[in-house]
Structure 1
Amino acid sequence: MNYTELQLTVSPDYTDILMAELAVLGFESFVETDEGLNAYILEPDFDETALQAVIDKYAGQTAIAYQINSLEKKNWNEEWERNYQPIEVQGQILVRASFHESKPDFRYDIVINPKMSFGTGHHETTAMMLEHQLSVDAAGKTVLDVGSGTGILAILAALQGAERVVAFDIEEWAVENARENTALNQCSGIDVFQGTIHEVNPDERFDIVLANINRNVLLDDIPAYVRLMKPEGTLLVSGFYEQDAADIEAKGRAEGLIKTGQLSQNNWVSIKFDKRTHGL
């Protein structure tokens, strides 16, 4: 059976939002591109009227253009594999799909089959979060992955030797994908659930909190992250632009955090915070 390929030209700010919207329409897989996003669905399941409704919903917020192609199934598989190339982070992490060969030279070999989920490591925000994780000793620690997507950050934490890893996402399909990926990496002990920060056990405390989301969610939820952190805990955040970094830093500072690191790539930013111990 043939597939329909949707090629979206859109700002990176909207790729994860549109992935969620298109998943509801039945699109099965996504590939982030330099122009935006490619999405794939079986031809009989494609509804152009429903697609146009989604485009119209966001057209007033950002420029969106799209093109529709028909792909034979064999060509669809080749296209997906051609677009999804392995990535390397700091010479220590290899992120690949299950159809790529492993490389023994890397300390961490992470297999991610993304399906509909955000977080393959290709986006700057995910790559920076992975890089920041390399600077944090997770061995024997407890880790919370907020808005986990494919589960890639939780998987790295588990491979680093974390004692307990909890991950959650608001989307059901992301939770399913994260569970599949944790199994692929033999990290099935990771606790993945569907929900928000408010469904995390309020009595539990974490050494490390990972949150790769967006500016508005971070500004709203950083206080909740801090409440769940141990006295000397670490918070890693990303998903926002350089112009928003001052607001994120100010929010962290107001909650008793100190900035101990920052990375930037193509106007995207990731910040490392540590929790102050005095007065806590």
Structure 2
Amino acid sequence: MEYVELRISLQDDFHELLIAELFNLDFEGFEQEDDLLLATIPSNRFDDTKREEIEKKLMSFGGEASILSEKIIAPQNWNEEWERSIKPQTIGKFYVHPSWSTFDGELDDKIELMIDPKMAFGTGYHATTRVMLEWLPEVIYEGNRVLDAGTGTGILAIAALKLGAHSAFGFDIDEWSETNARENILLNEVDNFEVRLGSTEVIPEGEKFDVILANINRNTLIELIPELLKFLNDGGQFLLSGLLEEDEEVMLNQPSLKKLTHVDTRRHDEWIALLFKS
């Protein structure tokens, strides 16, 4: 598949804000270097309308913000690209690494998560995944049934199972996710994790969960939350992210979330995660 790469001049303080906007416009890859941001999107999802929308957003940042160049990137071996860029990392109680990176030392009290990504999101590098992983040990209890909305690589559900959850059900609308999550399930040798392609309609009717995890984006969350909460047990917990600091008030004022107790908000850079209890 061909990709379009935009080379954008933007003060580094604003990178995360623009990345959140571009993610909602179907951009999939980002590289940051000082006041330069590279953003890539499949060429069949990019057109003049999106370019104009991006240019309008850049105007709101003022200064020298602009699209410097646009080029087509020919198909290439993306697995090799990931292997060069994805490195082991420690996130809270977890040691996250790809299968091609070996660890010769002692894990001590860390929990190993072996994640081979097909996409950048869901590797632990994004702040929203990090804040969710850091919070999970306080949210997951032995025997919990977990629903992972927009499971991606499956990293959050796999982490929950390794923390003692009884079972997990994950869904995602992207075909790559279904395949990738199942590969990561095998790598981590976890049981009772079912993954399906689709949205809330693929959740088995009548199922109830003790914990719902949703690391997506604000607009999708607002659309999905009323449906997701139908599957939350009484006394259950709902941990969500994919949100910027400025989104907190919007989310707290969602009618369906007002029926829950807001337990806490945690931050990583400009991104936040919110925890609710029913």
Where on the TM-score scale, by shorter chain, does this alignment land: which range? 0.7 to 0.9
TM-score (norm 2): 0.78
Counterpart-to-counterpart distance in 2, 1:97 and 1:148? 17
User: What residue number does 2:54 align with?
Assistant: 62
Residue 265 in structure 1 maps to residue 257 in structure 2? no
Counterpart-to-counterpart distance in 1, 2:229 and 2:79? 44
Matches within 5 A, 1:179-258: 179-251=182-254, 254-258=257-261
Against the structure 1 CA distance between its residues 4 and 147, is the aligned structure 2 distance closer, same or farther, given a 3 Å change threshold?
closer
- Aligned AA (2:95): L
Counterpart-to-counterpart distance in 1, 2:191 and 2:52? 42
Against the structure 1 CA distance between its residues 6 and 58, is the aligned structure 2 distance closer, same or farther, given a 3 Å change threshold?
closer
**Cα drift, residue 253 of structure 1:** 6.5
User: What residue number does 2:59 align with?
Assistant: none
User: What residue number does 1:33 align with?
Assistant: 31
TM-score (norm 1): 0.78
Counterpart-to-counterpart distance in 2, 1:106 and 1:62? 45
Matches within 5 A, 1:75-224: 77=80, 79-90=81-92, 92-102=93-103, 104-116=107-119, 118-224=121-227
**Cα drift, residue 201 of structure 1:** 2.0
**Cα drift, residue 6 of structure 1:** 6.5
Q: Are 1:222 and 1:251, in contact at CA under 8 Å, matched by a contact in 2?
A: no
**Cα drift, residue 242 of structure 1:** 1.0
**Cα drift, residue 202 of structure 1:** 3.2
Deviates more, 1:175-184 or 1:117-126: 117-126
Against the structure 1 CA distance between its residues 248 and 4, is the aligned structure 2 distance closer, same or farther, given a 3 Å change threshold?
closer
User: What residue number does 1:28 align with?
Assistant: none
Against the structure 1 CA distance between its residues 134 and 252, is the aligned structure 2 distance closer, same or farther, given a 3 Å change threshold?
farther
Structure 1, unaligned stretches of length 5 or more? 21-30, 40-49, 276-280
What value does the CA root-mean-square deviation take over the aligned residues? Answer: 2.9
- Aligned AA (1:54): F
**Cα drift, residue 12 of structure 1:** 1.5
Secondary structure of the equivalent of 2:96? strand
Deviates more, 1:131-140 or 1:100-109: 100-109
Deviations 1:102-147 (A, max 9, x none): 3523521111111136211100111111112121133211000000
From 1, 14, 18, give the equivalent of 2:26: 18
**Cα drift, residue 149 of structure 1:** 0.6
Secondary structure of the equivalent of 2:254? helix
Deviations 1:12-61 (A, max 9, x none): 222475356xxxxxxxxxx643235568xxxxxxxxxx827625352122
Q: Are 1:214 and 1:238, in contact at CA under 8 Å, matched by a contact in 2?
A: yes
What is the number of equivalent residue pairs in this alignment? 250
